[in-house]
Amino acid sequence: MNAPASPAETLRTALAGLLDGLPPKAAAQSVERLIANYRGATPTHAPILRDRADVTAYAAYRMPATFEAVRAALDAFADAVPDWTPDSHVDVGGGTGAATWAVSATWEGDRPVTVLDWAEPALALGRDLAAANPALKTAEWRRSRIGAALTIESTDLVTVSYVLGELTETDRASVVDAAATAARTVVIVEPGTPDGYARVIEARDRLIGAGFRIAAPCPHSAACPLVPGEDWCHFSARVSRSSLHRQVKGGSLAYEDEKFSYVAATRLPATPAPSRVVRRPQIRKGQVLLDLCGPDESLHRETVTKRHGALYRAARDADWGDPWPPAE
């Protein structure tokens, strides 16, 4: 008997089906225009995804990357709170629902799920896609303005992914405060750029001020040791590229790496990583160089050599974003 498809595989299949009947050139042009809009100044009164063609093209192009980034953040959080499973989930600004798919890939079982977004075409498409995922068949897709007027019903988990960059500073603060009031756990994901990191740090500070503790990626809930303007904390998730990806971006690689920044904060008891690998490990002859964020609020480099035995073998397998040292 064949094993059931994973949520990632199911999502890829559902997205591929979306593009049937949509001319590839039209899809690529729509994606290019939407990317330009996302990189520009976005008025908070106007959803970027205006119609079914916009939403279809952009979902096929962006949902896999958003899914993988959010899933990586959720996996790190789940490692810090291993005995907890969310009983309910609200996805703020969730659009077509990539984060809801990532939650279903992280924790098995059904739970009440609500997706809030102001773009009705995105909600409609997300609802259609969710029919392929048993964990999302009862999800609610609700139109809501994402900003100062946002209210969120009490829930175990709130996700806010790739949303804060579309909002004004005032609206960003309101959304984070609403999430903190409603949820026991809040996970925020933004692009892995200096600006995306700055928004994550801003949200992190508000969550700590609201009484949350940081579960991931940081090993502590103190101030980030990075100097603003000189460096930024971000990670990488590998994404299988669709034919639409290759058409829009060129090249022939079957994958690309999605850079993202995130914070996972909770009111639950949590055991953060002892340290976190914050750069891609450098493997050299007989040694591995690991750049780590440590529990003492410092950034430092650790050199692991062959004489460290099993720890050296673990270092050779370590990846960017992993906890260090690995759990035994």
Q: Write the pLDDT tens digit of every residue in 140-160.
A: 999 999 999 999 999 999 999
What is the pLDDT, as a whole number, of residue 255? 73
Q: What is the mean pLDDT of residues 158-164?
A: 96
Q: What is the pLDDT of residues 234-246, one digit of tens each?
A: 999 998 766 656 6
- pLDDT computed for residue 56 by the predictor: 81
Q: How confident is the model over 70-78, as a mean pLDDT?
A: 98
pLDDT by residue (tens digit) across 209-262? 999 999 999 999 999 999 888 899 999 999 876 665 666 555 566 678 899 999
* Residue-by-residue DSSP string for 263-314: EEEESS-----SEEE-S--EEETTEEEEEEE-TTS-EEEEEEEGGGTHHHHH
Residue with tokens 């914070």: 263
| Fold of the 7-266 domain | Rossmann fold (3.40.50)
The residue-averaged pLDDT of 82-87 equals: 96
Is the confidence at residue 194, as pLDDT, over 90?
Answer: yes
Q: How much is the pLDDT for 324? A: 96
The reported pLDDT for the residue numbered 270 is 97
pLDDT of residue 44: 46
Single pTM value for the model: 0.91
| CB 156, CB 88: distance < 8 Å | yes
Q: Where are the domains of the chain?
A: 7-266, 275-324
State the pLDDT at residue 309.
93
SS3 content of the chain, % helix, strand, coil (to 5): 40, 20, 40
